[in-house]
Amino acid sequence: MKIATGLIITLLLVTLPNAKASFAAESLQKIRVGLPSLALTYMPYYVAQEKGFLRKSGLEAEYIQMNSGIQPQAVVGGNINFFPSLSTGISAAVAGLPIVVVLNFYTMTPWMLVTAKEINKPQDLIGKKLAVSGIRTSPHQFLMAWFKKVEFNDKDVGFVLTGGTASSYAALASGQVAGAVLTPPFDDKAVTLGFKKFALVGDLVDIPSSGLIASRAEVATQRDKVQKTVAALLDAVAWIRANRPEAAKMISEKFKITPAEAERTYEGFVASLNKDGRLPLKVARGYLDLLRQERSVPADLDPQKFLDFSMLPSGK
């Protein structure tokens, strides 16, 4: 009898922790996030996953590699819950898709046109191919603004649409294109390979960068899940700010760059982070003006229609 009782107690001691762990796993809310490629602008997502901030918020996340162009339809169709590109999201919302910006990470993104060494002036690009993530993506729009600034006809170059920054870098590194629009650390990686930073293009126009886009249906019916995701990403941003050595090491390992390159990348990255998670109305209005150059956008369209920051800690 004593042996049987002892066996039961032992089984309970083994089973209960497993049952507790199983229950905890089952209680996590699942989210799916579409990311186009490996990119520094998505660093808060990597940190939120790898440092456990998503799990701490009660979420289990799956990151799905997905071309930026199909992400809006995917989020509206319920194939994913979120995606990060604010410019892609706002452009799709203007076109009528029911999606909103719920979080913004950056004040600006240092997009750089990186080219082969033999490119010394804009005219040297005539007849060449340039890599961008896609038509109407941020790198494409920054490049078009630069073409306008230097009075260059965009029809004189060909575009290779790569789907993401990492793929644009790969196209440049492999010699498929003469230039690519890149963000850190890919611009420095390209310089190490013998390419050069030809022109900073990321400060030419107001284009929102990365944050969190959700469908209106998600916000209405799964508000708690959206709020938890926002909280986890903000925790990740705070961790990046407070943990320079570890964050720089993560950048070095993830993007396969030297520690010195990672330190420089970290400094620029942290400087680009915004303070409160909101997208300034000036930037949103500026982006609508940019969209008006290529399609019909009502003059009285209020950009606040596409913004919902009520799930931020101080949101109203």
> In the chain, where are the structural domains located?
27-106+208-306, 112-200
- What's the start-to-end Cα distance of the chain, in Å? 64
Domain 27-106+208-306 and domain 112-200 have a common topology = yes
Rounded to 5 degrees, φ, ψ at 30 are -90, 135
List Cβ neighbours of 112 (8 Å cut-off, separation of 6 or more).
Answer: 181, 182, 183, 187, 197, 198, 199, 200, 201, 202
- Residues 29-85 have pLDDT tens digits of 999 999 988 889 999 999 999 999 999 999 999 999 998 889 999 999 999 999 999
Residues 316, 100, 164: CA angle, nearest 5 degrees: 130
CATH number of 112-200: 3.40.190.10
What pLDDT was estimated at residue 141? 87
Residue with tokens 């289990």: 60
- Residues 295-304 have pLDDT tens digits of 899 999 999 9
* Domain 27-106+208-306 part of CATH 3.40.50.880: no
Inform me whether the pLDDT recorded for 3 exceeds 80.
Answer: no
In terms of Cβ atoms closer than 10 Å to its own Cβ (0-12, 13-18, 19+), residue 270 is middle
Inform me whether the pLDDT recorded for 251 exceeds 50.
Answer: yes
What pLDDT was estimated at residue 247? 98
Please tell me the distance from the alpha carbon of residue 195 to that of residue 176, in angstroms, as a whole number: 13
